[in-house]
Amino acid sequence: MNNDPLVQAAIDVRLRAYAPYSRFPVGAAVETADGRIFAGCNVENAAYPEGTCAEAGAIAAMVARGGRQIHRVVVCGGTDAPCTPCGGCRQKIREFAAPETPVSMVSAGGTVLLVRTLADLLPDSFGPDSLT
Ligand SMILES: O=c1ccn([C@H]2C[C@H](O)[C@@H](CO)O2)c(=O)[nH]1
The percentage of residues in the chain with a pLDDT greater than 90, rounded to a whole number, is: 98
pTM: 0.97
Is there an atom of ligand 1 within 6 Å of 31 CB? no
Whether 55 is a known active-site residue: answer yes
CA angle 34, 14, 79 (to 5 degrees): 115
Q: Are strands 27-32 and 102-106 parallel, antiparallel or unpaired?
A: unpaired
Mean pLDDT, rounded, of the chain? 97
The length of the chain is: 132
Q: Which of 31, 50, 55, 100 is catalytic?
A: 55
Task: Output the residue whose Cα is nearest ligand 1's atom 10.
Answer: 24
Q: Mark the binding-site residues for substrate, compressed into ranges.
A: 42-48
What's residue 1's pLDDT? 64
Task: Output the residue whose Cα is nearest ligand 1's atom 14.
Answer: 53
Q: Please state the ipTM of this predicted complex.
A: 0.99
Domain 5-131 in CATH 3.40.50.970: no
Domain residue ranges in the chain: 5-131
Could you give the count of Cα atoms lying within 13 Å of 79 in the half-sphere of its Cβ? 9
Model confidence at 5: pLDDT above 90: yes
Task: For residue 31, count CB atoms less than 10 angstroms from its CB and return exposed for 0-12, middle for 13-18, buried for 19 or more.
Answer: buried
Task: Output the residue whose Cα is nearest ligand 1's atom 1.
Answer: 85
What's residue 24's pLDDT? 98
How would you list the strands of the sheet with 27-32, edge to edge? 37-41, 27-32, 70-76, 102-106, 112-117
